[in-house]
Structure formats: structure tokens, C-alpha cells
Chains A and B, each alone.
Chain A
Amino acid sequence: MLGLGVLVGFAAGGQALVTVSGLPLPGSVVGLALLWAALGLKIVRLHWIADAADGLLGILGLLFVPATVGFIGYLSAGAAWGLWLLVMTAGLLLGGGVAGVLASRLARPEQRGPEV
């Protein structure tokens, strides 16, 4: 429960920061960055939140089902879905390709030996 409290606290803190600063950022993503920094600075210990975080991330795919169900409002778009998927696929191939090629050029040899 402590873990969940810390996560909710950082989400609320991120939201408060966004509200006060007026920055166009989602509070939860700001909370993510704040928690990452707090873990790095040892203000928050990993074992406080590890169980709660793993539990929530395990059901992350469930939590946005209510939003994705809203696609039923776009059934009338019909054939346009094909174009949307086409654009998305182009983005996936170009973006993924650039990331893969750049990262393999820049990667340092791993000491641990090759993984399968």
C-alpha cells in the first residue's frame, strides 16, 4: 500500500506542477520523470514501490481498455481505417528502421557475451 501511495503521490505531484506552471504536459508523465529522478537521487527506494509498480504495469493493458472501446464511435469511418493503418505502418517502418540502424552503429560491444 505504501508503494501505491508513493505512485499516486508522484502522479498528484506531477499534476500539481503542471497546473501551477501551465505547461502543456500530462501530469502523469511529469510524475514519471520526477519518480525516475527521485530513484536516481535515492530519495525514493526501489523496494518501497517495486511491488506496486510491477502490479500496476502487469495490468497496464487493462487500464486503457475503457478508452480503446471508444473506437466504436469511428466505425463509420470505414475505408479511412485502411489509410490510417497505412500511414501508421509507414511511420513504424521508417522510425523503427532509423532507430535500429543508428543504434547498431553506435552500440558498444557488450561485455556479457552474446545473448540469444
Chain B
Amino acid sequence: MAWIALTLIAFALGVVLQTRVRSPLANPTLIATLIVAGVLLVGGVSHADYLDRVRPLTALLAPAIVALAVPLYRLRALLSRQWRSLVIGGLSGTLVGVGTDVFFSRMLNLSDQAQRSLLTAPATSPVALQLAQFTGAPSALAATLAVLSGLVGALILPGFLTLLGVKHPLARGLAIGAVAHGVGTARAREEGELTGAASSIGMGLAALLVTLVVAGVSRG
């Protein structure tokens, strides 16, 4: 129970900090991760032991992923009105993101574990975590790199899209959601309701697409 309490308190601290500091870096997952990691390192507790103690939290992950269907369903009107833009744009972006990760990690000759983990970085972290069993990636690394992808994307994508001349709120939101999922969607919401909605759709489609890519790769 103590470890569950620590994780909850660390996350709550992160939520409080997020409301005070308006930066994607003030992210509750990142802050909770750093606090818990610090306690484990200082206390000399292994990650496996910690995982064992917080199993009730992890058990909620599967129904939470299923719950992602709800925002997708709520946005069905937007999705059917703009399906060409959202589906073609989102899927192409996610596919290019995955392809770029694979290409550069081969070119730079990254470790096998890193290559496998980067493959799922454009998918939302809980899905990247679930996919690790099929990609053969260490699940901790796959989840961490996916979280970092969201953070870095939230920091750099809004400015980069402006640089490219992408002004349409729908396109901006979709682009951020397609590769920077959860944290990116929170950032996209700051630009407006339509941007946030498009980002949610981008994130949902990315989760489905990356899952299918992984399924294809692990079959072949």
C-alpha cells in the first residue's frame, strides 16, 4: 500500500505543479516518474519489486485504454465531416513518424532494445506499453520513450507547424495528436476546442495504426 500511496501522492504533486506552471514539462506523469524513481534509487528497491506492489494500478490500464473509444465516439460528427483530412492526414503522419524512427535508429545503429522501443513512440504510452510484448522491446523503455515523445512533441510541434504555414486548427491538432498523443493533446487543447478534438482523433488513430503495424511486423 505504501508504494501505491507514494505513486498517488507523487502524481497529485505533479497535477498541482501543472496548474501552477503552464509548460508541457510540468507534466504529472513525468514528475511522478522522477519522484518515484528517486525514492527507489535512494531506498535501493528494485523496479520489479515496486511493480509487484503497485499491481492494482496497472490492472486499471486495460479498461482505461478501452475507454479511449469514448472521446472517439463523441467526436464522430467531426470525424464524418472531415474524415478525408483526419484519416488520411493522421494515418500518413503516424506512418511517416514510425518510419522515420525505424530508419534513423537503424542508420545510427542504435541498440536493439532502443530500436524496438522507438518503433512504438508515436503511440500513446499505455498502448506502447501493451505493444512491447509483441515488438520484443523492454516495456519500461517503450513506455518511457512514448512519454518523452509526447513531451518533446508538445514543446516543439506548435512552433514547427507555424513555421510550415499550417494554420488550420484541425490540421494543427491532428498533427500534434498523430505523433505526440496524450501530452500533445493537452497542449493542443490550449489552442482551442477544435484543435483539441482533432488531436484526440489523431491520437486514437495513431494508437490503432501503430498496433496494426506492429501486428504486421511481428507476423512477417
A interface list, Cβ under 8 A from B: 4, 7-8, 10-11, 14-15, 23-29, 31-33, 35-36, 39-40, 46, 49-50, 52-54, 56-57, 59-74, 77, 80, 83-108, 110, 114-116
B window 55-102: CB within 8 A of A: 57-58, 60-74, 76, 81-82, 84-86, 88-90, 92-98, 100-101
Q: What string of 1s and 0s marks CB contacts (under 8 Å) between B22-66 and chain A?
A: 000001110011001100110000010011001001101111111
B71 to chain A, nearest CB (A): 7
B92 to chain A, nearest CB (A): 5
Name the residue of chain A whose CB is nearest to the CB of B142. A67
- On whether the beta carbons of A73 and B47 are closer than 8 Å, the reply is yes
How far apart are the CA atoms of A103 and B172 in the complex, in Å? 8
A52 to chain B, nearest CB (A): 7
Q: A108 and B92 in contact (CB under 8 A), knowing A46-B74, A60-B64, A99-B174? A: no
- On whether the beta carbons of A26 and B131 are closer than 8 Å, the reply is yes
Q: A70 and B144 in contact (CB under 8 A), knowing A35-B66, A61-B28, A95-B93? A: yes
Which residues of A are found within 8 Å of B176, using beta-carbon distances? Answer: 96
- On whether the beta carbons of B64 and A36 are closer than 8 Å, the reply is no
Which residues of B are found within 8 Å of A86, using beta-carbon distances? Answer: 104, 108
How far apart are the CA atoms of A37 and B38 in the complex, in Å? 43
Q: A57 and B71 in contact (CB under 8 A), knowing A84-B118, A88-B149, A102-B93? A: yes
Query: Quick check: is B140 within 8 A (CB to CB) of the other chain?
Result: yes
- On whether the beta carbons of A28 and B130 are closer than 8 Å, the reply is yes
